[in-house]
Amino acid sequence: METVKTISRLADLINQAKSIVVLDGAGVSTESGIPDFRSPKGIYKKDYEYRPEKVLSHNFFMNQPKIFYEYYKENIVHIDAKPNPGHIFLAELEKQGKLKAIITQNIDNLHQLAGSKNVIELHGSIYRNYCVKCHKKYDIDYILNNIEPIRCNECNGLVKPDVVLYGESLENDNISNAIKEIVKADLLIVAGTSLSVYPAADFVRYGKKTLLMNLSRTSSDIYFDYVFYGKFGETCKAIQEIIDWHK
């Protein structure tokens, strides 16, 4: 493991790569004003009647949808958030042909808003919702403009966000597609994640060359070829100012 201490060294690693895949988590969106989960100011540190793992579970949603949606709207949905320099940099990397895919654990749609096209959403998106009974689809406005518990306007079934809750499994297609993209890449960049959620945390072992960009150390640092500590968006903005797109 090499600790990368300069922006120029990061730019060199990106310049040298011809096929990059990014696996990211909540830390990439914190600079857009969206709180992460496990940092000192994260959602898990809030004083609430229920632990996030409980209220954001499938069982809790089915049994107490009113409380679920109250918590979900207050803590998870951030429709006013805008892409930060990290999202914009990755969209530019894709436009230049270097970045082949983003595998995200985030559900905020900020990569797509920044212009990225090939985004694998492991945990779904707040912008997609559906009736658990008749499967009618609903947008985010329907969720925000209705009173909890939110029900289908056709069959009165519960409307569920198309996000992976605790107790639910990731889609097999997303997992297999993510692994395929990583195997093909010559550089895997893991950004803004504590790598404490599986199976995403296990994806690192498929990377040929691996770089971790995170605000602080993780228990998985030793598994990377390179590590860099700092804010992702701020770091990407600095890289973008010096990178040679023609290499």
Q: Band of the pLDDT at 127, cuts 50, 70, 90?
A: very high
Instruction: Name the burial class of residue 173, with classes exposed (0-12), middle (13-18) and buried (19+) by CB atoms within 10 angstroms of its CB.
Output: exposed
Q: Is the pLDDT of residue 247 over 60?
A: no
Residue 85 to residue 108: CA distance in whole angstroms:
15
Is residue 46's pLDDT more than 70?
A: no
Determine how many CB atoms are found less than 10 A away from the CB of residue 176. Answer: 10
| Helices 85-95 + 232-242 axis angle, to 10 | 40
Pick the CATH number of 39-77+127-163 from 3.30.1600.10, 2.40.50.100, 3.40.50.410, 3.40.630.30: 3.30.1600.10
Ordered by start, the domain boundaries in the chain are 1-34+84-123+171-247, 39-77+127-163
- Tell me the CA distances in angstroms from 41 to 34, 215, 220, one per residue in order: 11, 13, 22
- Least confident segment among 59-68, 117-126, 166-175, 237-246: 237-246
Asked if 1-34+84-123+171-247 and 39-77+127-163 have one fold, the answer is no
Domain spanning 1-34+84-123+171-247: CATH superfamily? TPP-binding domain (3.40.50.1220)
User: Percent of the chain, pLDDT > 70?
Assistant: 94
Residue 229 bridge partners (DSSP)? 214
- Per-residue pLDDT, averaged over 30-35, amounts to 93
Residue 38: is its pLDDT beyond 60?
yes
H/E element, 40: none
Burial of 41 (0-12, 13-18, 19+ CB in 10 A): exposed
Give the length of the chain: 247
68-118 pLDDT, tens digit per residue, is 999 999 999 999 999 999 999 999 999 999 999 999 999 999 999 999 999
Active site residues: 123
Q: Secondary structure of the chain: what % helix, strand, coil (to 5)?
A: 40, 20, 40
Matching residue, tokens 């096209």: 117
